[in-house]
Structure 1
């Protein structure tokens, strides 16, 4: 009996030791799992660095305001911090602003440069400091450092309006017209000249069409004064039948000048760029603004900012390439197209 009890005690001790021995195995595994978790945590991808960019325009007109909205919308949709600024047609201010962004160590600049040549130095220097550069509205000459850009075909903008003006002169004015040109040659010579040539080239085969004035006036208030003076100066010479303006401010100012001078129905305006004011003027009963060839400044701004952000994130495309954004003709002869443009514009800018 004692022998049996001894055997039972021995078995109980063995089972007890075996059970105790299992716990250390489990407790040893826990640190291993913890170490593994720590390793996984330390190897996790770091949070994406916040990207900061700048969107730069060069004046306070509807075109540039819409371009700036495009910058801001693209940055918002892509989750990027965006600062916007205006160089106010000042080349020195543009260079100073670019240098400031370099010193702030932002990631990139989307810009409507003031000049296709004189803006190059500051932008190239910024690129060499590590900033990505994209360009909208103006095509830079030989700029392989630009990660992308979007602009209009300036000759075609003038050409499309010129074709409509030619048809109007033939059908409404008996093939005769005295024409005044209002452009922005002293501001952006290449761009302005291309637009003017596109327009004037369409009138060359009309022998009774004369260009009687060619002056600069790209801001609205400036154009009101300049066109008003031209109308007065030409009264004794047979008047002015057509005013063509090369940009947004010039077009709006020309319409206002004709209206102020009481020349509605005698002097007709054709122009470039389109936004809410031009839409309203085309639809107005005063019959002054006949046609504009509109760009898409919102889309130009959006695409210019989008290509910049993609390049910063490593989605690099073809450097030095700038893409043409097509223009659109808006005229009194197709109010349905004018209304459709206004609807799309409202959706983009709301």
Structure 2
């Protein structure tokens, strides 16, 4: 990873030394979440290294505002766009419009299936969900005698969280003693808190909650703590927060998948610059169609190795 980071810095340094006056338009999902803040920070830090300008628009979960931002970038004739899409299908027309206007587009976190997108940068979500499912399977077999009640609390409209849940459930599919009580809406902390509060009353014998996103984990953990259920109902989830770190340390959370959003932001800039100026500077502007960034599974056994600083790669 250190070698990759050094190569990345060299590439950006070379591009900066040529003094390219480039402007990248960035539109994210929301900057209210630590995950998307880290992506944006990675983009900005890489842009500083390369000496290019970044204009960021935060639609705060509004697809209509994100489409308008994309149209604005097209009108301004920015040199490239980094799109962190709210709705992968709803963004297809305006992404196509940008590409047809000659503007390179990189998507981060979720792919938009449009011919001509330079690359998708993100986590292999289904695979990581499967790995978390294996952790759940081992816990159920070793600690619960092979029988368990499991629920999912997530943002039901999120394609990413659908993939993460599909992977998780695939890992548990062969377990005859598994009872799946359902999926519950938990986009933000409050929704997740309320969902788990209701779950704990409707299913007092619930064993495990899968929360495939930052806010779902935080809300679920807060609810279980409020009702004194942290010893009985365990959580498995995505994206480390202070609460999740505390839960791993005390054993109330069994596992967390930590993505590398800061690195995703840097890689997105590198991909665009390689595409735009790589042939001129490096003699090659090839970029892979998918730039997958691995996640790491943290458990109570290895939580002490977690790095809080987003500028430090999680994967060694």
TM over 0.5: yes
User: In the TM superposition, what whole-angstrom CA distance separates every residue of 1:314-340 from its partner, at most 9, and x where no partner exists?
Assistant: 5474467112111211001x23xx333
1:272 to 232, 235, 238: 238
Larger mean Cα displacement after TM superposition, 160-169 or 305-314: 305-314
1:204 and 2:170 are equivalent in the alignment: no
Helix, strand or coil for the counterpart of 2:161? Answer: helix
SS of alignment partner, residue 271 of structure 1: strand
After superposing the two structures, state which structure 1 stretch, 258-267 or 318-327, moved more. 318-327
**CA deviations over 1:222-246 (Å, ceiling 9, x no partner):** 21122222212223xxx31100012
Paired residue secondary structure (1:75): helix
How many Å separate the matches in 2 of 1:62 and 1:159?
24
Secondary structure class of the residue paired with 2:310: helix
Count residues in correspondence: 292
CA RMSD of aligned residues (A): 2.2
Partner residue of 2:305?
Answer: 340
- Alignment correspondent of 1:312: 276
CA apart distance, 1:48: 4.4
Question: Contact 2:27/2:56 (CA < 8 Å) preserved in 1?
Answer: yes
In structure 1, the partner of 2:22 is 51
Query: 2:34 maps to which residue?
Result: 62
Give the TM-score normalised by structure 2: 0.85
Q: Separation in 2 of the partners of 1:68 and 1:261? A: 36
Q: In the alignment, is the contact (CA less than 8 A) between 1:246 and 1:271 conserved in 2?
A: yes
Task: Say yes or no: does 1:145 pair with 2:116.
Answer: yes
Q: CA deviation at 1:254?
A: 1.2
Q: What corresponds to 1:161 in structure 2?
A: 132
Per-residue deviation at 1:101?
1.4
Q: Deviations over 1:68-95 (max 9, x none)?
A: 1111111111111112222222111110
- Render the CA deviation track for 1:252-276: whole Å, top value 9, x for unaligned: 2111111112111011000122355
* Structure 1 residues 103-252: aligned runs within 5 Å: 103-141=75-113, 143-186=114-157, 188-189=158-159, 191-235=160-204, 239-252=205-218
| SS at 1:252 equivalent | helix
Larger Rg: 1
Indicate the structure with greater helix content: 1
User: Partners of 1:160 and 1:289 in 2: how far apart?
Assistant: 15
Q: Which runs of 5+ in 2 are unaligned?
A: 1-17
Q: 1:280, CA displacement in angstroms?
A: 3.2
Q: Which residue of 2 aligns with 1:261?
A: 227
Aligned residue for 1:297? 261
**Residues 108 and 276 of structure 1: is their aligned pair in 2 closer, same or farther, counting only changes over 3 Å?**
farther
